[in-house]
Structure 1
Amino acid sequence: MGKIVVFGAGGRAGRRVVEEAAARGHAVTAVTRTPDSRFADRRITVVGGDVTDPASVAAAATGHDAAITAAARLDVPAVEFYTAATRALVAGLTEVGVSRLVLVGIGSALEVEPGHRMLDDPAFPADHRAFALGHVAQLDVLADASIDWVVLAPPPVFLDESAARTGRYRTGGQTLLVPSPGSFSYADLAVALVDEAESPRHHRTMVAVGP
C-alpha cells in the first residue's frame, strides 16, 4: 500500500478521508492545525501543519505518494484562504515530488446549464456565494499548476455526518448530477477522494460527485 497525506484532517470530511485511507491499508499522515490523538490507528501519524505555508506542506508531504486536502477556514475570507492554500500545496508538493493532489470542491460552483453556475443565480445567498467563489479562485490557481490534480465537487446539500458508508457514488462532469441527490454522506465522499488518490481517473479538472 501507499502513503497518503491528508490536509484538513481535523474536519468532518478530512477525518473520514484519514479513516478511509487507513482502513485500506495505507500509511496516512493527518495534518491539522493543532495535532492531537484523535486517531488511534497505528497506520495514522498526526502532525501539525499550515496548509497555506509551502514549507509546512513540503515537510508534511515528503515521502508520500498522493495528497488529499479537505482544509477550510471560516475565519478568513474564502478567496484569500483557498488561493493561499492552493498555491502552497502546489509549491510544497512539487518541491518534494508528490505529483497527485485531490481536492474537495463545492457543488454550487457546478453548472446548472451550460455557462450558468449555481452560484450565479441572483437568488443565491451572498454569504454562500463568497465561500463558493473561494473554491472558484482555487481552480484559477490550479489551471497554471504542473501537478496532476482533480477537484471533486459534492452536491450543494448538507452532507450527512451520520450516514453509514455504502462505498457507492457517481461522478460526472462540471454540471450538477441529475437527478439531484437528496443527501450525500461524508463517508462516501471520502471513498471517492481516496479512490482518486489511489487510482486516478480524472485529471486537471473539476468533477461532480454524488450518490
Structure 2
Amino acid sequence: MSRIVLFGAGGRAGRRILAQARARGHDVLAVMRHPHAHPDIDGVTGDVTDVADVRRLTAGSDAVINAGASMDVPPDQFFSASTHALIGGLQTRRLLVIGIGTTLEPTPGIRLVDTLDFPDEAKPFTVGHALELELLQQSPSELDWVVITPPPVVIAEHAETGPLLVSAGPELLHSSDPTFTYTDLAVATVDEIDNPTHHRTQIAVVRN
C-alpha cells in the first residue's frame, strides 16, 4: 500500500483516479480547492499552486498525483504556478501529472497543437500543459516525474475499461478501439504507481 496525495480529486479524472487507487488498497489523501463543492468525496482543502500547501500536504507521502486544472485563471498561469509549486514543495520524489492529448506528436517533433487545422480556441489549454511539461523537463534530476497523457478525446460517461497500450514517449498512438474513458486513464495512472515503469518523460495511453 502506498500513501498517495491526489490534487484535483474533484475533477473528472481525479474522481476516477481516487476510486481506482482506493479500490487497490492505497491510502489516498484527496485534495481539492473547494471540498464543499464535492460533498461525496472525503478530502481536504488545498491549492496545488501554493508551495506551502504542497509542502504541508505531501509530507510523508510515497507519490503525488496532479489531476488539477482551473477555469478561473489563464491556463498558462495555472499550469506554470502549479508546476513551480510542485517542484518547489514536493516532499517525495515520485510525481505523476495528468497531461492532455493535444500535446502528443502525430509525427516526430510536431505536436497536434502545432498542426495547421488545430482550432485557435483550443490552444490556450494545450499551451498551458506544454509549459507544464517544459518546466518538468527542466526540474532537478531527483524529481521522478511522469506525464500520463490520454488521447485527445476522452469519454466521461462510460466506466468500462479495457487493455491499455502505453508508449514510452510523446508519440500519438493509434488504436483500433477509439473509446478511451477516464476510468482507463485512472487505471494507467495507478498502474504507474503500483509498477513505476516510466521516469522523467511524457507517455501516451490508448486502448489496445
TM category, shorter: over 0.9
Q: Which residue of 2 aligns with 1:209?
A: 205
Between 141-150 and 24-33, the greater mean CA deviation after superposition:
141-150
> How do 1:54-203 and structure 2 match up within 5 A?
54-93=51-90, 96=91, 98-146=92-140, 147-157=143-153, 159-166=154-161, 168-172=163-167, 173-179=169-175, 181-203=177-199
Q: Secondary structure at the match of 2:117?
A: coil
Displacement over 6 Å in runs of 4+:
none
The aligned counterpart of 1:38 is 40
Question: Retained in 2: the 8 A contact 1:174–1:206?
Answer: yes
Q: In structure 2, how many angstroms separate the alpha carbons of the residues matched to 1:13 and 1:121? A: 26
Q: Could you tell me how far apart the structure 2 residues matched to 1:91 and 1:16 are?
A: 27
Among all aligned residue pairs of Structure 1 and Structure 2, give the percentage whose two residues are the same amino acid. 48
Q: 1:167 Cα shift? A: 5.2
Q: How does the TM-score come out when normalised to structure 1?
A: 0.91
Give the drift of 1:88.
0.4
Q: Structure 2 vs 1, CA of residues 181 and 117 (structure 1 numbering), >3 Å: closer, same or farther?
A: farther
1:165–1:60: structure 2 CA closer, same or farther, 3 Å change rule? farther
Are 1:48 and 2:45 counterparts?
Answer: yes
Amino acid of the structure 1 residue aligned with 2:40: R
- Structure 1 residue 104, shift from structure 2 partner: 0.6
CA contact (8 A) 2:175 2:206 kept: no
Equivalent-residue separation in structure 1 for 2:134 and 2:24 (angstroms): 33
2:179 and 2:145 mapped to 1: Cα distance?
A: 26
Secondary structure of the 1:87 match is helix
Could you tell me which amino acid in structure 1 is paired with residue 14 of structure 2? G
Q: Secondary structure at the match of 2:106?
A: strand
State whether residues 192 and 198 of structure 2, in contact with CA within 8 Å, keep that contact through their aligned partners in structure 1. Answer: yes
Rate the CA distance shift 1:180–1:116 in 2: closer, same or farther, 3 A: farther
Deviation at 1:8, TM superposition (A): 0.4
> Partners of 1:68 and 1:142 in 2: how far apart?
14
Q: How many residues align?
A: 202
Post-superposition Cα deviations, 1:81-113, rounded to whole Å, max 9, x if no partner, equal 1011011011111xx2x1100011111111111
